[in-house]
Amino acid sequence: MTETATDTVRNGVDTATMFATLDAIKAQPEIARFRFRASNTWMGGSHNRSSIKGFYAACAEDSSRSSGWTLDAGEPAILLGADEGPNPAEYLLHALAACVTTSLVYSAAARGVRLTSVTSELEGDLDVQGAMGVDTENFRNGFERIRMTITISGDAPAEKLRQVVSRGRDRSVVFDSISGGVPIELDIVTA
Q: Hey, is 92 helix, strand or coil?
A: helix
Which of the four pLDDT bands, split at 50, 70 and 90, describes residue 188? very high
pLDDT greater than 50 at residue 104: yes
CATH architecture under which domain 87-180 falls? 2-Layer Sandwich (3.30)
pLDDT greater than 50 at residue 160: yes
Q: Do domains 14-85 and 87-180 have the same CATH topology?
A: yes
Residues 114-124: what's their mean pLDDT? 98
Residues 112-133: what's their mean pLDDT? 96
Residues 35-44: what's their mean pLDDT? 96
Q: What is the pLDDT of residue 161?
A: 98
Q: Are 177 and 99 in contact (CB under 8 A)?
A: no
Q: What percent of the chain has pLDDT over 70?
A: 96
Residues 133-143: what's their mean pLDDT? 95
pLDDT tens digits for 50-83? 999 999 999 999 999 999 999 999 999 999 999 9
Class of domain 14-85: alpha beta
Q: What is the pLDDT of residue 92?
A: 98
| Cα distance between residue 169 and residue 133, in whole Å | 33
Domain extent listing, the chain: 14-85, 87-180
Report the side by side order of strands in the sheet with 39-44: 39-44, 47-52, 69-73
User: What are the residue ranges of helices labelled H in the chain?
Assistant: 15-27, 88-110, 158-171, 173-180
